[in-house]
Amino acid sequence: MQTIQSFPSLSRPDARVLILGSMPGNVSLAAFQYYAHPRNAFWRIMAELYNFDLAESYETRVQCLLNQKLAVWDVAQQCVRPGSLDSNIVGDSVVANDFSSFFSRHPDIQLVCLNGGKAAALYKKHVVPEVKRAQEIARQVLPSTSPAYAGASYGQKLDLWRLALKNG
């Protein structure tokens, strides 16, 4: 099995909210874009919350998030995962991103929004025990925007993301 690597964060120094996934799926890895799968609700939700056109280029959509002082990243810097499903991440293969450095460079982060249960579990296991600042920042587990997560409708996901980001 092959080790896969995440991307650098999308962020600027004055970011206030960090949105964390677990590890990009295969479609995203191939496109080198966060949330590139056409059925992933992430960009649709963000477009609705921040009033930008979903048809805009990836770069323009990213800039819209940065302008809202949002940062996007993944908990895992690398891992082994056959396929795209979070449930297939090989537990002992996970190497977390460098959150100590990230939080040092982004001192205004006040909220970490975890995109799904796997991101939350990885953050709790690999980041919180190791990084003092991660223990101090509020965190919110949100329903995964992945098309693989069918436990909430799009409307339910949108409402929960809206509530979390409004308070962030």
CA distances from 138 to 55, 104, 128, 150 (A): 32, 16, 11, 26
Query: Looking at the annotation, which residues are catalytic?
Result: 40
